[in-house]
C-alpha cells in the first residue's frame, strides 16, 4: 500500500518535468524562429532547414511526454491528499482512465509501487527527448566551424 509521503514524493518528482518542458520549449522556439528566418529575407540553407525540422520533431515529442508527466503529477498529488480513501479513489481513477481510453482495462490491477515506477519512467522518457534536443544543438554548434571550412 502506498504511503502519503511516497505519493507526494512521486508527484514532486513529476513536477520537475515542467522545468524540462520549459527548456525544451525554448529550444523549439529558437529552432522555429531560425527556420522561419527565410521569410524575412535571410538566405535559406538546406542544412539549417534540416536542423530546424529535427529540433521541431524532437520538441513535439518532448511536449507529448511532458503532457503525460503533468497529468500523472496532478493525479499523484490529488491522491496523496486523499490517502485515507486511497482504495476507493484508485478504483475511481482506474474506471475513469479505462472509460477515457487512457489505460487498458488489464492494467487496472497495478499496485502503487508499479504505478510510481511507470510514472517516473514517463519522466525519464521526457528527459531523453530533451537530451536528444540538447545533443542536436551541441553537435550543430560544434559542427558549424567545420561545415564552414568544408562548405
pTM reported for the whole predicted model: 0.88
Tell me, letter by letter, the H, E, C secondary structure of 15-50.
HCHHHHHHHHHHHHHHHHHHHHHHHHCCCCCHHHHH
3-state secondary structure of 143: helix
Q: Is the dihedral of CA 66, 69, 71, 73 positive or negative?
A: negative
One digit per residue, pLDDT tens: the chain, 151 residues?
Answer: 688 999 999 999 999 999 999 999 999 999 999 888 888 888 878 888 899 999 999 999 999 999 999 999 999 999 999 899 888 888 899 899 899 988 888 877 789 999 999 999 999 999 999 999 999 999 988 887 776 655 5
Backbone φ and ψ of 140, nearest 5°: -65, -45
Residue 124 contacts residue 24 (beta carbons within 8 Å): no
Amino acid at each position: 500500500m502506498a504511503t502519503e509521503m511516497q505519493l507526494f514524493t512521486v508527484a514532486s518528482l513529476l513536477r520537475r518535468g515542467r522545468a524540462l518542458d520549459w527548456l525544451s520549449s525554448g529550444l523549439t522556439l529558437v529552432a522555429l524562429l531560425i527556420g522561419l528566418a527565410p521569410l524575412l529575407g535571410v538566405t535559406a540553407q538546406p542544412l539549417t532547414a534540416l536542423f530546424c525540422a529535427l529540433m521541431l520533431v524532437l520538441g513535439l515529442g518532448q511536449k507529448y511526454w511532458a503532457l503525460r508527466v503533468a497529468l500523472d503529477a496532478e493525479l499523484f498529488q490529488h491522491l496523496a491528499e486523499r490517502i485515507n480513501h486511497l482504495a476507493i479513489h484508485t478504483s475511481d481513477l482506474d474506471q475513469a482512465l479505462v472509460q477515457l481510453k487512457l489505460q487498458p482495462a488489464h492494467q487496472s490491477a497495478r499496485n502503487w509501487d508499479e504505478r510510481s515506477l511507470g510514472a517516473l519512467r514517463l519522466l525519464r522518457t521526457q528527459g531523453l527527448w530533451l537530451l536528444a534536443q540538447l545533443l542536436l544543438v551541441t553537435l550543430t554548434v560544434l559542427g558549424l566551424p567545420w561545415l564552414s571550412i568544408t562548405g
